[in-house]
Amino acid sequence: MKSQRISKNVIRRLPRYIRHLDLLTCEGVTRVSSSELGKRMSLTASQIRQDFNCFGGFGQQGYGYNVEELRSKLAAILGMERSRSAIIIGAGNLGRAIIKNFRFGACGVTLRAAFDIGDKREAIGDALSFYDIGELENYLRENPTDIAVLTLPADAADGMAHRLVGAGIRGIWNFTNVELRGIPENVVVENVHFSDSLLALNYYLSKEEK
Amino acid sequence: MKSQRISKNVIRRLPRYIRHLDLLTCEGVTRVSSSELGKRMSLTASQIRQDFNCFGGFGQQGYGYNVEELRSKLAAILGMERSRSAIIIGAGNLGRAIIKNFRFGACGVTLRAAFDIGDKREAIGDALSFYDIGELENYLRENPTDIAVLTLPADAADGMAHRLVGAGIRGIWNFTNVELRGIPENVVVENVHFSDSLLALNYYLSKEEK
């Protein structure tokens, strides 16, 4: 929650670069110019060069970027090769969807355990270690963890976030659509607000109809 | 409203303004200055004024904003009061989580039906009309629909997107983490990439540790 030197918009574009570089690799492309990459991503070549200049620039004027090299540099900046640990709080439909389908490993994160009330244990099956939420503090004492994924009901989000921070969690990935209040500045909160995305879609639909 | 192109970043901030204005209303606050609002949202007062100026500006110098009025103007810009229809394609864990928990109505959207292969019908229960995916084109002919929510497996995403566009869908809310290719320009695609968000969290965690 500190102000950072590199703009959030640049950071948020990096994963998109990585996705497009992966597509290029799949297509057998090993070198790409900023204008070619820009065309695929609906960005201008100058915006791309500007983004990469935030990190010292990666290209050689006139030669374009080596796809594999660029990908690995961006991945390093994003910490994708670092090993982070995570737990997930809430094993309802959304929690289970994330446990079963989301590729944490591709982001450099290992999902280690799920927490909920005991009767949700069966829903998880063998996919992941399951603990009753009462065991949270003990678990975190024995297994220091970087990130907690919040997929519990909205009305429990604020209390749980503070409980997690008290138990040493420093990163919260928040799917509850609640703006968490009073979280210390050294804790990073990343909100996934589905509604922001749907409202943006609405807006652009209306624009198209004009 | 001006018809100039407003940056995506401004559009994406509008839902956040609305969430914070709703919190102010809950707290009984009826008027807020750009600096107070900025403090709550970690934005500068000047950024807020600049954002609102994109739409002609909403405040009166020195008086701050009327919370209710500002909220309703932003909501109108985002089309929250307009009535959009949506269907959801894919009734797995993620689809069910969205059907059961996401408040489409608060975004001005009515979710009308879910599509999947027939044996998923039971998982939906009475929450929503369920159709086998084979009935998609017939349904859309009889029920013109604005938005399709894609919560099906990634490898089926591209084909389904083209099928939907062919059947008249003009907005795609894409949860599949696949970059859809070759979608016509007049179709609006809004991607929800969970990984972008987790990677940003990783990045800011690393920054905090420095």
Residues A111-137, mean pLDDT to the nearest whole number:
88
pLDDT in tens, A36-73: 999 888 888 888 988 888 887 777 667 889 999 999 99
Q: Do residue A58 and residue A111 come from a single domain?
A: no
What chain B residue is nearest to A75 in terms of C-alpha separation? B199
**Mean pLDDT within B149-171:** 96
Flag if A170 and B205 touch (Cβ within 8 Å).
yes
Instruction: Using a pLDDT cut of 90, give the percent of chain A over it.
Output: 49
Strand ranges (E), B22-175? 31-32, 65-66, 84-89, 109-116, 129-132, 147-150, 171-174
Owner of token pair 């009515």 = B110
Residue B170 and residue A208: Cβ atoms within 8 Å? yes
A83-105 pLDDT, tens digit per residue, is 899 999 999 989 999 998 898 98
* B55-81 pLDDT, tens digit each: 777 766 678 899 999 999 999 888 887
Structural domain range at position A28: 8-77
In B146-185, the residues whose Cβ lies within 8 Å of chain A are: 146-147, 170-171, 173, 179
Q: Could you give the ipTM of this predicted complex?
A: 0.84
**Cβ distance of A100 and B93 shorter than 8 Å:** yes
pTM of the model: 0.81
Q: Is residue B62, in this structure, part of any structural domain at all?
A: yes
Statement to judge: residues B159 and B126 lie in one domain: yes
The answer to whether residue A205 is domain-embedded is no
- A70 and A114 in one domain? no
Among candidate residues A156, A170, A146, A140, the one with its CA nearest the CA of residue A90: A156
Whether residues A179 and A100 share a domain: the answer is yes
List, as ranges, residues 44-73 from B with C-beta within 8 Å of A: none
Q: Contact A202/B77, CB-based, under 8 Å? A: no
Q: Read off the CATH number of the domain in which B43 is found.
A: 1.10.10.10
**Residues B48 and B91 occupy one common structural domain:** no
What's phi and psi for A183, nearest 5 deg? -85, 135
**CATH at A137:** 3.40.50.720
Q: Which residue of B has its CA nearest to A2?
A: B208
